[in-house]
Amino acid sequence: MASQKVPQATAERLPLYYRTLQRLVAIGKTRISSSEFGSIVQIDSTTIRKDFSYFGALGRKGYGYDTQRLMEFLKKILYQDELSKVILIGAGHLGTALLNHNFQKNNNTKIVRAYDVDPSKVGKEISGTEVHPMNELVTDDNSDITAAILTVPSAHAQEAAEMAIASGIHGFLNFSPTRLVLPADVYVRHVDMTVELQALIYFLNHSMEERKSE
């Protein structure tokens, strides 16, 4: 699969495309043009055509794209045709919200276990997912686990990540503000809500100032 030359920016848009196509298929739309699709996802139609072109000719000139076919193609590309199992570390406020949500809706990903140090949380079941004691993490066989969701306090994020790596995990979705220092073959994505909120406030205030001085 010609995956090496897919730009990062393109790859990061694919999940949005996939989800949007799922919705379009669900409401019975069988074809769509890049410009109509673009207005739905709010991305320029040229960008969308370029993105799809990295995977070959997926559309038909004069017609557009077959939603079902495109959706199924993206499903494969995104490995959504097989179940991805993930674990969650830190069953606190945010962790519990994620366990309740569990990404199941049209999304072939499942949080199969949670871990926590707090004895009052260990043994509980949150929305069908068991909370295990943290010390079991290192001994558990996590070779079939794709990634770990990190929702521990930031002071413990580094050690928790290291324990997960010891058990065979190579990917993290880190919700804590800590920038983890990890081996090069480990891939981390950050979801940093405080950064997002501050960036929002920055852009709001600065665009207001611009408007005032116009």
Ligand X SMILES: NC(=O)c1ccc[n+]([C@@H]2O[C@H](COP(=O)([O-])OP(=O)(O)OC[C@H]3O[C@@H](n4cnc5c(N)ncnc54)[C@H](O)[C@@H]3O)[C@@H](O)[C@H]2O)c1
Partner DNA sequence: TCATTTTTGTTAAATGTTTCACAATCTTCA
Partner DNA sequence: TGAAGATTGTGAAACATTTAACAAAAATGA
Residue 136 or 208 having the CB closest to a second copy = 208
Contact partner at residue 57 from DNA, ligand X, a second copy, none, CB < 5 to 8 Å by partner kind:
DNA
SS3 content of the chain, % helix, strand, coil (to 5): 45, 20, 40
171 annotated to a ligand binding site: no
When CB distances are held under 5 to 8 angstroms depending on the partner's kind, the choice from DNA, ligand X, a second copy, none that residue 166 binds is none
Phi, psi dihedrals of residue 123, rounded to the nearest 5°? 95, -25
Among the listed residues 25, 126, 145, the one whose alpha carbon sits nearest the alpha carbon of residue 73: 25
Answer yes or no whether residue 84 interacts with a second copy by CB under 8 A: yes
Contact indicator for 83, 104 with CB cutoff of 8 Å: no
Give the C-alpha distances (Å, rounded to integers) separating 114 from 80, 125, 128, 152.
Answer: 22, 9, 11, 11
Using CB under 8 A as the criterion, which residues of the chain lie in contact with a second copy when the complex forms?
Answer: 1, 3-4, 6, 11-12, 14-16, 18-19, 40-42, 77-80, 84, 86, 93-94, 96-98, 100-101, 103, 107, 109, 146-147, 149, 170-173, 177, 179, 181, 185, 187, 189, 191-207, 209-211
Known binding residues for NAD(+):
90-95
